[in-house]
A and B are shown apart, each in its own frame.
Chain A
């Protein structure tokens, strides 16, 4: 039974594309066949994060319009053979997407892959609503700050009303992934705590990914973090999140700042 998963957030820049690539790769590393679909038509990025930008010939819009067959447009990852990408079109805009067309492509992908990961664009307009439209599972990506949390709350409302599942009265499975979590700033009270975010959004927590240079470096070299630096805390958090999506029970621990940092912080405060 294949699953369609949307990675969404409402707000831009919170880490949707990084998360799509990392979770997709982690699921593929766990033996699942995975299709990554970029819905950010006009502002595509998933191809860069996967290092496939030079291999894009056909894209999602071509497949929707019948200019290319799905098999022609799918780009297989060179490192993980069970990970494929369907890129977005950079030269078009979201109006090129149609609900029927997206529905047809998703149906066809369901027949070929275990997981279809839809990387949603920011916002609540056509691109974002079509990315979530056919999903069975949603991963809501939020940073621990008020604007991101409020936008995520808005998105959860849309997931519960505008998706096919919601309209047919079925429950939409929703998970919260907190990204760019900075334990140091959280300890100083400069950032919302995990508890605060969970209290407001009231959906189950899938994982907490710390803010780190490793994530940035992986994106720059065009390799999902779970492949590029599997030992890094961020990669481990994504790998564990993927295991939770596959139904495993893996306890979640809130990342804390190294002891030295906190004591130094307090020492500085005492001195000041």
Chain B
């Protein structure tokens, strides 16, 4: 459930448009969100009975939430799949797609054309919320509630988000740049009293006078590169050194900082 962001060119949109004046720009945005996945199982009568009991206790569970139906349990027969979908719709679940079924199996039925969801992160069982434990715990234990509705895990941001952050102005004293999802590139100086913290590596095309802390996520694989090393403190993967701990010979030179078998190393680049 993650799409890209498109910005359409107004000119290309205007082609064939009846109105001569400039048309508004169409912005298509992508977003990821949480959908509930529910997997009906045969025999459906028993399954729906269990679902009804469940809904009776936690009516708000599906209220207003997008639902994806995993039809793998009914996939061998189109009738069963249709019956399951009809049953869910009758219970006012908002079905936004199906999975675990070949799209052509539903062809010709009233569910022809329902979106088939093929991508998304792995799903895991989600604890069913809104269940006050005081409500008949005995019944709860006895009821053969099928696998609780599972939700797809939110996409790991590191894999989808842009892997680097570019800052094209100086980082001023007192400012803190924290970017856990990847590398940080600063075009300009990092002032004394400023800090840049990155999940990955840090690149400073200017003087690094403040603190640079790299490898919050990638650990010792990260590196710090700077055009001029005048830093107060550098750290990679949890190993840090302050300006006192390196030779004056490095001061003012372009340098890189990396981890070598658990020790922080600094070396000039020029």
Chain A interface residues (CB < 8 Å from chain B): 124, 146, 150-151, 153-154, 156-158, 160, 199-200, 202
Contacts and interface: CB of A to CB of B under 8 A. Distances in A.
Contacts of B188: 202
Contacts of A124: 174
B172 to A, nearest CB: 3
Contact of A154 (B169, B172, B207): B172
B66 interface: no
B170 A202 contact: yes
A154 B174 contact: yes
Interface size class of chain B, counting residues whose CB lies under 8 Å from the partner chain: 10 to 19
A157 B207 CA distance: 17
B170 A150 contact: no
B192 interface: yes
A157 B189 contact: no
A153 B170 CA distance: 10
Nearest to B206: A202
B128 interface: no
30 contacts: A124-B174, A146-B192, A150-B192, A150-B193, A151-B173, A153-B172, A153-B173, A153-B174, A153-B191, A153-B193, A153-B194, A154-B172, A154-B173, A154-B174, A154-B193, A156-B172, A157-B172, A157-B173, A157-B174, A157-B194, A158-B174, A160-B169, A199-B189, A199-B207, A200-B189, A200-B191, A200-B207, A200-B209, A202-B170, A202-B188
B164 interface: no
B175 interface: yes
Contacts of A160: 169, 172
Nearest to A147: B192
Interface of B: 169-170, 172-175, 188-189, 191-194, 207, 209
Contacts of A156: 172
Given A153-B173, A160-B169, 9 more contacts: A150-B191, A153-B191, A153-B194, A154-B173, A154-B174, A157-B172, A157-B194, A199-B189, A202-B188
B140 to A, nearest CB: 52
Complex A-B, nearest 5 residue pairs according to Cβ-Cβ distance, in ascending order: A157-B172, A153-B173, A154-B173, A154-B174, A153-B191
Nearest to B171: A157
Contacts of A151: 173
Contacts of A154: 172-174, 193
A157 B192 contact: no
B169 to A, nearest CB: 8
A202 B193 contact: no
Contacts of A157: 172-175, 194
A14 to B, nearest CB: 15
B194 to A, nearest CB: 8
B230 to A, nearest CB: 10
A150 B175 CA distance: 12
A154 B172 CA distance: 6
A150 to B, nearest CB: 5
B193 to A, nearest CB: 6
A146 B175 CA distance: 18
A202 B189 contact: yes
A156 B171 CA distance: 10
A179 B138 CA distance: 80
Contacts of B191: 150, 153, 200
B189 A150 contact: no
Nearest to A153: B173
A160 B188 CA distance: 15
A94 B270 CA distance: 51
Contacts of B174: 124, 153-154, 157-158
Contacts of A150: 173, 191-193
A174 to B, nearest CB: 11
B236 to A, nearest CB: 25
B229 to A, nearest CB: 15
